[in-house]
Chain A
Amino acid sequence: MTRPPPPDPPAESEPPGVPGFRTWRSVYLFVIGWFVLLVALLAAFSRYFS
C-alpha cells in the first residue's frame, strides 16, 4: 500500500491564504454578503425592467 497522505491541520487554524481575508469565517461572511447583494440586485433588475 502507498503511504497515506499527511492529515490536514485543524480546520479553522489553516488560514485561507486569500488577500484581505485572515480567517475562514470572514470568507464565509463574504460569500453570504455576496449572495444577499445578488438577490437585491436581481430584485432591482426585475423591478427596473418590468
Chain B
Amino acid sequence: MNLVDWVILLGTMLGIATYGSWRTRQVQSLSTYLKGSRSIGWGTIGLSVMATQASAITFLSIPGQGFESGIGFVQNYFGLPLALVIVCAVFLPIYRRLGVYTAYEFLGRRFDDKTRLLCAGLFLLQRGLAAGVTIYAPAIILSTVLGWRLDLVIVGSGLLVIVYTVTGGSQAVSLTQKWQMAVIFGGMVTAAVVLVSKLPDGLGVTGAAHVAGALGKLHAVDVSLDPTRRYTLWTGLLGGLFLSLSYFGTDQSQVQRYISGPSLRESRLGLVFNAILKIPMQFFILVLGAFLFVFYQFDHPPVFFNQSEWRRHAEAGHAETFRAIEERHEKAVAASQSATRAWLGVRASDDPAAEAAARTAMIEANRRAEAVRADAKAALVAADPRAKTKDSDYVFITFILTELPHGAIGLLVAVMFSAALSSKAAELNALGTTTTIDFWRQLRPLAAADEARNVRVARWFTALWGVVAVSFALFAGFAENLIEAINILGSIFYGVILGIFLVAFFFRRVGGSAVFSAAVIAQAIVIAMYLSLSLGYLWYNVIGCAICIVASLSLQAVLGPPTPRDVTRAA
C-alpha cells in the first residue's frame, strides 16, 4: 500500500465514523438511541439489514469459497427470501404493535420473565462471543498479508466502532452502515472490472464462465438427497429457511435494524429489498471467486495463498522440501494452462470427440495441480502440526494486493474494514440494548422512568461489550478453533430460540411453563445429537425448532390449560 491507498483507507473509515458521530451527537431520547430515528426510509433500513449480515469474512472468505469449491454455497441463502416474507407478515407487525425495544421483550409479554431471560441470555452468550470473532477473523487475515501488527488492527478498528456506536446508538449504526455499504458496492464492482480486464485476450466473460464451468466451479444447484452434503437445494430451502427465520426474526442484531423507521411499510420494504437482492449479491461474490480461479489458470498462482505462513515455515529449516513442492507446482500449473488453452482452441471447432478428449485432459491436468497444492498443505502440517492450512481466505486479498492499481487497493481494504465495522456496530448496539432492556431494567424497574439514566446506562453497556469483544479478539489467537466452535454454537442454539418464537406466534394456547421446559429439553437433545451424530450443521436449526414446538404442545397437553396469567398474556 502506498500513500494514495492510505489516504483512501483512512479517509473513508475515519470520515464515515466522524460523520456518524457528528450527526447523532445530540441523541438523548431512549427510543432514538435504541431504535434509531423515526425518519429513516426503507432504503436505509434495507442497507442496514444487509450490512449487519455481511461481515468482512463475507468479502474475504466467500470469493475464496467460490475459488476452491465453486458457487454451490449460494444454496445456503435459498431459505432467506421465504424467511423474510414470514418475518414481514408475522413477526414485524407484532414487534411494532407492541412497541418493544428487543425481540425478547415480546417473549416476556407473551410468556413470562424466565423465558424472556433464557432467550436474552442465550443471545448475549452467543453474540457476545461472536462479536470478538467479527473483529478477530478479518484482522488476522489483513494483518498477515499487509504486515501490520495484529493487536493494533484489533484495538484500532475496535475503538473506532465503539466511539460512534456509543455516541449515537442505533441511529449512528444505520447512518454509517448506509455509507459503508456504498464503499462495499463500489469496491466490489471495481475489483470485478479489474479482474475481467486481466483475463487473457479473447477469453472474455463468457469464455471464463465456460472454463470455470468445465472445471466444476459453476454448479449452483445440487438436488442430491444425501444428508451429509453441506450445501444442497434441500439444506438451503429447509435448513436455510429455519436459520434465516431465526436470524432475521429473533436475533436482536437484526431485529433492531428493522423495527425502527416511521412506519410498518418502511420496515417491510427494507426487508423485501433484502429478500430480492441477497441471492443475486451472494451469487456475484461467488462468481467473482470462480473467475479468480480462471484468472489463476492463466497466471502464476502461489502454491499456497497464505504466503506469510508458507515463508515462515520455509525459513524454519524446510527450505528444500518447500522449494521442491514449488517447482512441482510450477510445472503442474504450466501443464494445466497448456491443457486449458488446448481445450479452448478445440472448443471453437465442430469436433465433439476432440473437445471431449481435450476437456478430460484439462480436468486431469487441473486435478494434478490441485494435488500439488494438497501436498503443500501436508508439508506445512508435517513441518508444524499447528500450521494454518486453510488458504482460501487469502485468495481474494492476494489478488487485490498484487493485481489492483494503487488507489483501488486502498478502496478494497476499506471494503473489508467497512464490512467489519458495520456488522460489529450492529452487534454492539444489540448487545448493549438487550443488557439494558432485558436485564438492567428488569432488576431496577423503578429506573425505567428516568429516560436520561436509561440512555446513559445503554451507552455504558455498549462500551462494555465493545471492550469485551476487543479483549476476546486479542486473546482469540491462543485458541484458533474457537471460531469454528462459535459458529457451531450459533447453529445449536438458533433452532430452539426460533421454536420458542414460533410457539409464541402460532400456538396461543401454550403457556410460559410449558415452552420454557420444552426449550430446555430440546436444547439438551440437540446438544446430545451434536455430540453423537455427524450431521450437516444447518439441520440442527430444523431439529431444535421442531423438538421445541412438539415438546411445548405435548407438555401443555399434560399440564392442562394455561393459567389465567398465561391466557391474559397471550390475548
- Taking beta carbons and an 8 Å cutoff, which residues of A are in contact with B? 1-2, 4-5, 7-9, 11, 14-18, 24, 27-28, 31-32, 34-35, 38-39, 42-43, 45-46, 48-50
- Least distance between B37 CB and chain A CB atoms (Å): 11
Taking a contact as CB atoms under 8 Å apart, the answer to whether B99 and A5 are in contact is: yes
B313 within 8 A of A: no
| Chain A residues positioned under 8 Å from B31 (CB to CB) | 2, 4-5
Out of A4, A7, A8, A18, name the residue touching B269 (CB < 8 Å). Answer: A18
Q: By the criterion of a CB under 8 Å from any partner CB, how many residues of chain B are at the interface? A: 40
Contact with A along B259-273 (1 / 0, CB 8 A): 000011100110010
Taking a contact as CB atoms under 8 Å apart, the answer to whether A49 and B218 are in contact is: yes
Supplied contacts A1-B449, A35-B82, A35-B275, 14 more A-B pairs, CB within 8 Å: A4-B99, A5-B99, A11-B97, A11-B264, A31-B272, A32-B82, A34-B81, A34-B276, A39-B78, A42-B74, A42-B283, A46-B213, A48-B213, A50-B214
Out of A9, A27, A45, name the residue touching B218 (CB < 8 Å). Answer: A45
| Chain A residues positioned under 8 Å from B280 (CB to CB) | 38
- Least distance between B170 CB and chain A CB atoms (Å): 14
Contact with A along B137-149 (1 / 0, CB 8 A): 0000000000000
- What secondary structure prevails in chain B residues at the interface with A? helix
Shortest Cβ distance from A48 into B: residue: B213
| Chain B residues positioned under 8 Å from A34 (CB to CB) | 81, 275-276
Shortest Cβ distance from B221 into A: residue: A43
List B33-63 residues whose CB lies under 8 Å from chain A. Answer: 38
Taking a contact as CB atoms under 8 Å apart, the answer to whether A1 and B451 are in contact is: yes
Taking a contact as CB atoms under 8 Å apart, the answer to whether A24 and B88 are in contact is: yes
Contact with A along B86-122 (1 / 0, CB 8 A): 0011000100110100000000000000000000000
A-B CB contact pairs (8 Å), 6 listed = A8-B96, A14-B265, A24-B268, A31-B275, A39-B78, A42-B220
In the complex, A28 Cα to B29 Cα: how many Å?
Answer: 34
Out of A2, A28, A42, A48, name the residue touching B221 (CB < 8 Å). Answer: A42
Shortest Cβ distance from B449 into A: residue: A1
- Least distance between B125 CB and chain A CB atoms (Å): 31
Shortest Cβ distance from B218 into A: residue: A49
Interface-central residue, A4, A7, A16, A38, by most chain B CB under 10 Å: A38
| Chain A residues positioned under 8 Å from B160 (CB to CB) | none
Shortest Cβ distance from B81 into A: residue: A35
B219 within 8 A of A: yes
In the complex, A24 Cα to B81 Cα: how many Å?
Answer: 15
Shortest Cβ distance from B210 into A: residue: A49
In the complex, A1 Cα to B32 Cα: how many Å?
Answer: 12
